[in-house]
Each structure stands twice: as structure tokens, then as C-alpha cells.
Amino acid sequence: MKSKLPYSAGKLSLILLSFALAGGALLSACSQNSDGSDASGSPSAGASASASASSEPPTPISIMTTFFGDEPPGPDNVVIKEIEKRTNTKLNITWVSSNSYNEKVNVTLASGDFPDLTLILDNFAQNVRTMAAQGAFWDLEPYIKDYPNLMEYPQEAWDNSRYQDGKIYSIPRVRGLDTGMVAVRKDWLDRLGMEPPQTTDELYEVMKAFTTGDPDGNGTADTVGLVGYISADGLNLGSFNSILNTFQGANGGWKIDGNGNLVNMTTDPSTKEALAWMRKAYEEGLIHKDFATLKNTQAREIVMAGKAGVNFEPVSGSWVMTEGVRKIDPQGDMLPLVSLTNPKGEQYVGKGIGYYGTFVIPKTVSEEKMKKILSFFDYGASPEGYELGAYGFADVHFTKDGDFYQQTEQAKKDIVSTSAFGQVFTRFNKYAYAVAPNVSTDYYERSKGIIDQISEISVSDPTNGLYSETWSKYRNEWLKKTTDLQVKIILGSVSLESWDDYAAKLAEDTNWIKSIQELNDAYKTKKGQ
Amino acid sequence: MGRAAVTVEQNGKRQQPYGTGTRAQRTVRMLIRDRYLYFLALPGIAFFILFKYVPMWGLIIAFKDFSPYVGMWQSNWVGFEHFRRFFGNDDFYLLLRNTLAISSLNLLLFFPAPILVSIMLNEVRHRVYKRVVQTVIYFPHFLSWVIIAGISFIMLGQADGVINGILETIGLEKIPFLTSPSLFWPMLTLQNIWKDVGWGTIIFLAAMSGIDPTLYEAARMDGAGRFKQIFHVTIPGIRNVIMILFILKLGEVMDVGFEQVFLMGNAAVSNVAEVFDTFVYRNGVLNGEFSYTATVGLFKSIVGLVLVVTANKLAKMAGQDGLY
């Protein structure tokens, strides 16, 4: 279960990213190849790698990574053989099931003897930080400039993977940066003659109309405006967190104020406004009655059953919900919204960190070999290398229709997919969240346009990669208490005013003040580099 | 071998079957005589030492600032720092109250339930009917908590819950079963009873089948009716078993079952649903504070041990057979 990751402050984005992984990788029906972006750079990298093949013996590279599905590809897999030939390497891959990857990698790291390329899902976990500080990994920043395909990864993904000391010790496993956050039943809006909401006030009106206006036209009031879930570990408001962040105008609740200081918005009045908004909505029956006990998939299922019209989910999830809805209502359409504007007039949509997990190279590897590993990885980030790794041979393993890859039976037989070697070779795709199994072309094109709009305004979490000893010690206690109280306020079991006392007390807590101070120092250190 | 020798000494003292001489001499003589038996016991002893006693050294991390990367031995000693933080925490009393309340309800209501059921089953004379009932009530024991939580959500939900649906059709107000703090503890106890009442009867039925039938005959001869037989033959016949199980249960007072509480809990009921086990999960497993949570675990174990030892003493003082 991915939600058992020790969370960093950018936890929501991690969850969103894991959706992309599950959605994009598990069924692997299609993906998108941003052709033309750098057509010249990549084949030459491939060519240079294969050119050296004739003269040098293959470089042995050991890899530890994860896979989805029943079984991983074997060592004599046709595609892996071809990759070895083209990159002049000899690969020794340890495939670990995604269910137990975290435990396995922690044990391997603790032994001090880990593979040449090791995937770490939570690159800011305490043990990984300690190892990085002790010099266990190669500092890659001086080298990556020489690899054109790796430099195609967005700079933000690289920056977000920086450690406290400002260095890049790992290669991000890139994912889309712009995830989107909320989807609304477009066909219901049309039926009620409403426009897609752009502000939180408009959203409220839409939720009201969805609850009382019989949007499905079946004559009974059996629908509800908003459905969502609370995070299973109880450490944040789950999908309702996006509402909180919209009111705060801050991703993850952290914001840089006018003086360049990092501030936490939990104690800001905007948090109370968000709670008041949700409390009122719940009281008026606009939010699903059972939201406090629902899980992520249950919330989706309620949408798919045509019982709710708004759900805070990334763009990839909106297609999943649309596909479900269409089984009972062929006109059904969950439209991802670009952003929501809060009462202060700030337009908000969150931004992901741009990767899910990173690969590290141990310092015990020689500099020469480290460079070979980087060029192997660079090949994997080229259009040619990525297509080969994730989809195999054209006409044997896939056929291509525009941006979409159609996999053949042979691909299943040979275990060629994004769930297998596509977990090693990754390539940045701006529209990764628009990609979903079975997505229809017009839906996909629309999502791409929405992601383009989102990318212009999305807000990232400034605390990515920052560390404070006090914060990490008390974080879960605070997050838990905060979430508990927030849920009770929304349910109406305690008064809205109790938030004032809580926020005032929290703002005075010496450990809270110390954490924010430490994170500010960390922010400045990281910025200064 | 140290443990074995101690046992032998005690035996020697009581029975003195190995002739005269000092204690040590007798011990050695006995060890030699029964050497093959002790060889047979070796794997078992090794198992307990390796897998039960050696890991107990891990408890020292409760007194250290444990970091997995530097390892258990290199981590710094911090003395009672974690204990101070734990007992000084406002949440400590909340956790203690919730844990004790949930387990007291279990002891009070869930513990007697299988006794009652097994007495009733024992009175059933129709063999086939008895078997069928037994099998049916055993079954929920094999369901995992995940499934039971799922069933509970379907039954008790507010929007589409079955029970609330019924309440609505007969014109009553819907009840937020899952998000009402006052209903949380009773719900846990009821779930426990539903799940394990059948399974719990096994041991009591076995004990009842061990009661000498002549006692019942004698009671009948004296004119005792069914109820008199239950109170004067059946219950005294299983009193020892009840006592032993009760003492064992006392040792688990601090363990209220992580899965059940975690699955049924939610933010709305957290002030009654937060127990030591969920606290350990959140802080230890999710946040990596292993030392702090080892402290909590150690505290739980000590309380459990003290309760078992005290209860055992009390039972013996009351003239019952204790655990040991």
C-alpha cells in the first residue's frame, strides 16, 4: 500500500503521483510520446552508445527496481537483450514486487552494499538523508549536463529532488508535474444550464444544484454535490485537502510570504474560512454523509454510480470516473477543472513534484562506470530508448495510433510494458496525467489542453526536500490533531469557534515555532546553493 | 542449560530421588541419568532463547535514540527521555482511558458471552441441531477484520447503510453510527462478540464434556432441575477453565486489537478510538520513531505482566488453581 510511505510535506503530490503510476503503468494500454521536442539529440545518444559497443566489453550494471503485475521479465527477455546490445551493458536486475518495495530497499540500503542503480521511493526518508549526508551516493549535478535526454527532464523535477545541502544525489523517476485537482460532472452542468465553476463560491452553487436540482433527471433527489475521503492514516483531510489549500492559496499548507519567509497556513484565518465553507456544505447536505469513513476508491465508485457530481481527484482519475459513469449514463463526463479561485481572489491549483521515487548510484562505483550508468539511463530517456523499454518492438509488441500505443498479445507474453522495464526507463511527458487506459481521443485531447492551462498557474509546495528535526519528530502528532478537529468541525460535532482556540494554541507551541524556524533555515540553505 | 538446571534443582528439592550429596552433586547425577531427555529438549530450549529471549535485547532501544542506519549499538543512550516524553504527553491519559475502556467492556461483556452460549449449547439434546449451530457460529471467526469492517460500513453507513435505510422507511431519524463517539466502544464490543463468541465456546464445551456424568445423575437423583444442575454441576465444573482464561485475558488488557480499532476508527471518533496500538503505528511505523514507540510497547508489556502476576496471586489466595 503506497499510503504507508513515511510522508514528506508534499504528501498529496506523492499520492497523486502514485495514481499516475498505477493508472499509467498497470494497464499500459497507451502512452504519449512528445515527439518533435528533441528529435535530434536523442538518436545521436543512442548511436554513440551503440558505436562504443564494437570496441569495449559490455559494462555490467546491477539494478534494483519495482514492477507491477504477476511476474517480472526474466534475464533472457528479448527486449532486455536488445537494450543490453544497444547500450553495450550487461544488466543484472533485481525485480521487487511493488507491495514490499519499501521494506526491501530499506534493508538493502542498511546493508551498505546496494546495486549500481537503486530505486528509492521515498528519497527524503530519514535513512536515505543520513546516507546522502555521509556520502554514500554520487553527487550527480556536475555530470548530468552532458546527457541531453536527462536534461529534458523538467528542471523542477531535478530541483525537487535536491537534498538539504542543495545537491542532486539521485535521478528522479519522472512523472507529470501538473496533476489537476478537481473534476465536475459536465453533463449535469449542461442539463442544469450552469457553467463550470471557477471560484469556490461558484463551486458551492454547483454543489447545491447537484444536490437539490435533480441533475440526473430521474425525478428523485438521490444525488449529492461533493464526495471525497479522509486520508486513511488520519494525517490530512485527504481529497478535502485541496479545498483547504485552495482557500490558503498554498500547496501543502506552506507558503512564501512577502518577506521571503516560509509560513504555515494552518494558523492562518484562511484555514478557518475553508472549514466554515465545508461545514456549511455538510450541514446543507451538499457533501456525502459518509465522507469521514469513505476510502479513495469508494468515493470514486459513488461518482461512477451517478450519485455525486464533484470529486477532488487528479486529471488521471477524472477519466477513470468518466469511464465508470458512462456505463450507466453514456453522456456522463467528469470535466477536470483548471483551477479554483478563493474568496481572496487567488487562483489556485496544486502542482506535483514531478517524480515518484529516485535512482541513486553508490559512491563505491568508479567515476568511469558511473558515467556509463548515466549514459545507459540517458538512453532510456530518449524517445527511442523509452519506446523500446516500455513498449518493445514496433509491430511485434505494439502498434501505434497517433499518440497511443496498442499492445499486442506478444507483448503480454514477453512481459514488455510500462509495468516492467518501463519502471527503469522513464521519459518526461508533460501530459502524463491525461493518459489513462482506454481514454477516448477527444477526452484525451481536452485533458491535454486543460493541463496546458494548469501548467501556467500551478503552485508547488515550497517545503519539498526540506528537513527539520523538530518538525519530523512532532509532525504526525500535530497533523493528527489538526485533522481530527477539522473533521469534527465539518461534521458539526464541535463548534467552528473551537478552531480559533486550537490555532492560537498551536501558534504559541514552542516546538511548532521551532519547527517553522528550522524549516525556514533549511529553505534558505537550500535556496542559497 | 541454565534454565534447565534450575528446574532440576527444584525437582530435586521436592522429591530427592537422586540419593544423597550436595544439591550440585544430585543435579549432575540427574542430568547424566536423563541426558537423552535433555538432548531432546535442546531444540525447544534453543528456540525460545533465540526467538523469544534474544530479541528482548531490542528493548534497549527504548532507552536510546535509535537510528536504523547507525544501528542498535551505535545509537546514543538517552536514559528515560522517551518515558518522560510519553508520560508527560497530554495524550497519555486519553490513550490509557480508551484502551482500558475498550478492554473493560470486552472483559465485562465479551468474555462471559461464550460461557453463556456454551452452557446453552450444552443443554441442547438434539445432536444434529447442536452441531449445525456450532458450525454456524464458528464461521465469523475466520473472517478478517477488513471484511467485518466492510460489512459494518455497508450496514451502518449514513447515506446508503442498510440499518439507516430501515430506520428511514419506518420514519425514524438516521443515526450516524460510524461517526458518533458515544457509539464507538459498544460497536467494537458487539463486533467482537459477533466474530468470536462461537470460537470461544470450543474450550468451554471441551471442559464441560470432561465433567463426570455421574455428577449430573446424582444431582437428578437429589431432585435438581435443569437450572440447579447448571449452577451446581456445570459451572463449578468449568470454574478452573474460566479462571485461567480470565487471567490470560487480563494480561492482554493493553492489547485491544490494532486492526479492528484502526479500521473502524475515523477522524470524527478519534478521541475515543485512539489507543496505544494505533499510536504506535502512527508514530513508529509511519514516522520512524522506533525508540519512542518501543517505550510505549515496553510500558504495555509491563502493565500486562503486572496484571497477570497479581491476578494469579489473587486467584491462589482465593483457593483456585492459578496459571502456574
DSSP B283-296: IIIIT--HHHHHHH
B203 pLDDT band, cuts 50/70/90, is very high
Number of domains present in the structure of chain A: 2
Residue of A nearest to B270 (CA): A484
What distance in Å separates residue B279's CA from the closest CA in chain A?
A: 9
Q: Does B284 touch chain A (CB under 8 A)?
A: no
Dihedrals phi, psi of A502, to nearest 5 degrees: -60, -50
Same domain, A332 and A372: no
Q: Does A478 touch chain B (CB under 8 A)?
A: no
Task: Give yes or no for a contact between A430 and A178, defined as CB atoms under 8 angstroms apart.
Answer: yes
Position A17 scores a pLDDT of 39
Same domain, A250 and A344: yes
What distance in Å separates residue B56's CA from the closest CA in chain A?
A: 21
Q: Does A473 touch chain B (CB under 8 A)?
A: yes
Same domain, A363 and A294: no
Residue A189 pLDDT more than 80? yes
Q: Does residue A482 lie in a domain region?
A: yes
Position A416 scores a pLDDT of 84
Show Cβ contacts of residue A145 under 8 Å, excluding neighbours closer than 6 positions.
A151
Q: Does residue A519 lie in a domain region?
A: yes
Of B67, B153, B174, the CB nearest to A293: B153
A240 pLDDT band, cuts 50/70/90, is very high
Whether residue B267 and residue A477 make contact (CB cut-off 8 A), yes or no, is no
Least confident residue range of A22-36, A83-97, A380-394: A22-36
Same domain, A282 and A378: no
Position A113 scores a pLDDT of 84
Same domain, A40 and A103: yes
Chain B residue numbers touching A493 (CB-CB < 8 A): 179, 181, 268
pLDDT digits (tens, 9 = 90+) for B252-275: 888 888 999 999 988 889 889 999
Q: Which of A398, A415, A434 is the last residue of a domain?
A: A434
Q: Does B289 touch chain A (CB under 8 A)?
A: yes
B158 pLDDT band, cuts 50/70/90, is confident
Q: Which of A434, A449, A484 is the last residue of a domain?
A: A434
The alpha helices in chain B, defined as continuous H runs, are 2-15, 23-33, 35-48, 71-74, 81-88, 91-105, 112-123, 127-138, 145-156, 162-169, 181-209, 213-221, 226-229, 235-251, 258-264, 270-273, 276-280, 290-317
| Whole-number percent of chain A with pLDDT over 70 | 89
pLDDT digits (tens, 9 = 90+) for A212-228: 999 998 888 899 999 99
B73 pLDDT band, cuts 50/70/90, is confident
Residue located via cell numbers 452441531: B131
* Stretch 5-44 of chain B: residues touching chain A, C-beta under 8 Å: none
Whether residue B179 and residue A292 make contact (CB cut-off 8 A), yes or no, is yes
Position B69 scores a pLDDT of 60
Q: Does B229 touch chain A (CB under 8 A)?
A: no
Q: Does A131 touch chain B (CB under 8 A)?
A: yes
Whether residue A290 and residue B69 make contact (CB cut-off 8 A), yes or no, is no
Position B16 scores a pLDDT of 53
Nearest to A272 by CA among A462, A517, A495: A495
> Domains in chain B and their CATH numbers?
2-77 (no CATH), 81-317 (1.10.3720.10)
ipTM reported for the complex surpasses 0.85: no
**Would you state the cell numbers that stand for residue A41, as one nine-digit string?**
539529440
Whether residue B267 and residue A289 make contact (CB cut-off 8 A), yes or no, is no
Least confident residue range of A352-356, A411-415, A430-434: A411-415
Same domain, A228 and A312: yes
Residue located via cell numbers 542532486: A168
User: Burial level of B127, CB count in 10 A (0-12/13-18/19+)?
Assistant: exposed
Position A125 scores a pLDDT of 81
Same domain, A333 and A240: yes
Q: Does residue A292 lie in a domain region?
A: yes
Position A54 scores a pLDDT of 55
A18 pLDDT band, cuts 50/70/90, is very low
Q: How far is Cα A178 from Cα A198, in angstroms, rounded to an integer? A: 18
A39 pLDDT band, cuts 50/70/90, is very low
Position A34 scores a pLDDT of 35
Instruction: Look up the domain containing A415 and give its range.
Output: 36-177+354-434
What distance in Å separates residue B287's CA from the closest CA in chain A?
A: 6
Strands A355-360 and B64-65: unpaired
Q: Across chain B, what does the average pLDDT equal?
A: 87
B250 pLDDT band, cuts 50/70/90, is confident
**Would you state the cell numbers that stand for residue A411, as one nine-digit string?**
507483448
Q: Does A234 touch chain B (CB under 8 A)?
A: yes
pTM here is 0.78
Higher-confidence position of A486 and A526: A486
What distance in Å separates residue A5's CA from the closest CA in chain B?
A: 7
Residue B70 DSSP SS3: coil
Position A376 scores a pLDDT of 94
Position A23 scores a pLDDT of 38
Same domain, A278 and A299: yes
A16 pLDDT band, cuts 50/70/90, is very low
**Would you state the cell numbers that stand for residue B32, as one nine-digit string?**
547424566
Residue A91 pLDDT more than 80? yes
Residue A446 pLDDT more than 50? yes
Whether residue B288 and residue A292 make contact (CB cut-off 8 A), yes or no, is no
Residue of B nearest to A285 (CA): B159
What distance in Å separates residue B272's CA from the closest CA in chain A?
A: 11
Least confident residue range of A1-15, A205-219, A448-462, B285-299: A1-15
Higher-confidence position of A182 and A465: A182
Phi-psi label, residue A331: left if phi above 0, alpha if psi -120 to 50, beta otherwise: alpha
Q: Which residues of A174-205 are buried (b: 16+ CB within 10 A; e: fewer)?
A: bbbbbbbbbbbbbbbbebbebeebebbeebbe
Select the residue from A109, A290, A488 to test the B interface by mutation, using most B Cβ atoms within 10 A: A290
Q: Does residue A452 lie in a domain region?
A: no
Same domain, A409 and A471: no
Whether residue A6 and residue B288 make contact (CB cut-off 8 A), yes or no, is yes
Residue B7 pLDDT more than 50? no
Q: How far is Cα B219 from Cα B232, in angstroms, rounded to an integer? A: 8
Q: How far is Cα A406 from Cα A414, in angstroms, rounded to an integer? A: 15
Q: Does residue A257 lie in a domain region?
A: yes
Residue A74 pLDDT more than 60? yes
Chain A residue numbers touching B288 (CB-CB < 8 A): 6, 125-126
Q: How far is Cα A226 from Cα A307, in angstroms, rounded to an integer? A: 9
Same domain, A303 and A424: no
The alpha helices in A90-223, defined as continuous H runs, are 101-110, 126-133, 141-144, 155-160, 186-192, 200-212
DSSP β-bridge partners for residue A217:
none
B5 pLDDT band, cuts 50/70/90, is very low
Chain B residue numbers touching A124 (CB-CB < 8 A): none
Whether residue A289 and residue B266 make contact (CB cut-off 8 A), yes or no, is no
Q: Does A427 touch chain B (CB under 8 A)?
A: no
Q: Across chain A, what does the average pLDDT equal?
A: 85
Position A414 scores a pLDDT of 86
Residue A183 pLDDT more than 90? yes
Position A163 scores a pLDDT of 86
User: Burial level of A334, CB count in 10 A (0-12/13-18/19+)?
Assistant: buried
Same domain, A86 and A222: no
Averaged pLDDT, B25-51 = 91
A258 pLDDT band, cuts 50/70/90, is confident
Cβ-based contacts under 8 A for chains A and B = 84
Q: Does A233 touch chain B (CB under 8 A)?
A: yes
Position A145 scores a pLDDT of 92
Least confident residue range of A394-408, B13-27, B302-316: B13-27
| Whole-number percent of chain B with pLDDT over 70 | 91
Chain B residue numbers touching A469 (CB-CB < 8 A): none
Of A131, A290, A488, the CB nearest to B157: A290
Q: Does residue A374 lie in a domain region?
A: yes
Q: How far is Cα A229 from Cα A238, in angstroms, rounded to an integer? A: 6
Q: Does residue A375 lie in a domain region?
A: yes
pLDDT digits (tens, 9 = 90+) for B205-235: 999 999 999 999 999 999 988 899 999 999 9
CATH number at residue A294: 3.40.190.10
Least confident residue range of A29-43, B6-20, B129-143: A29-43
What distance in Å separates residue A119's CA from the closest CA in chain B?
A: 18
Position B152 scores a pLDDT of 93
Sign of CA dihedral A308, A314, A319, A323: negative
Higher-confidence position of A192 and A100: A192
Of B159, B179, B287, the CB nearest to A476: B287
Whether residue A4 and residue B286 make contact (CB cut-off 8 A), yes or no, is yes
Nearest to A469 by CA among A528, A526, A505, A517: A517
Same domain, A197 and A334: yes
pLDDT digits (tens, 9 = 90+) for A112-153: 789 999 999 888 887 788 888 888 899 999 999 999 999 999
* Stretch 58-87 of chain B: residues touching chain A, C-beta under 8 Å: 67-70
Averaged pLDDT, B9-38 = 74
Whether residue B286 and residue A480 make contact (CB cut-off 8 A), yes or no, is no
Residue A110 DSSP SS3: helix
Chain A residue numbers touching B289 (CB-CB < 8 A): 473
Q: How far is Cα B123 from Cα B125, in angstroms, rounded to an integer? A: 6
Q: Does A78 touch chain B (CB under 8 A)?
A: no
Residue A87 pLDDT more than 60? yes
Q: Does residue A237 lie in a domain region?
A: yes
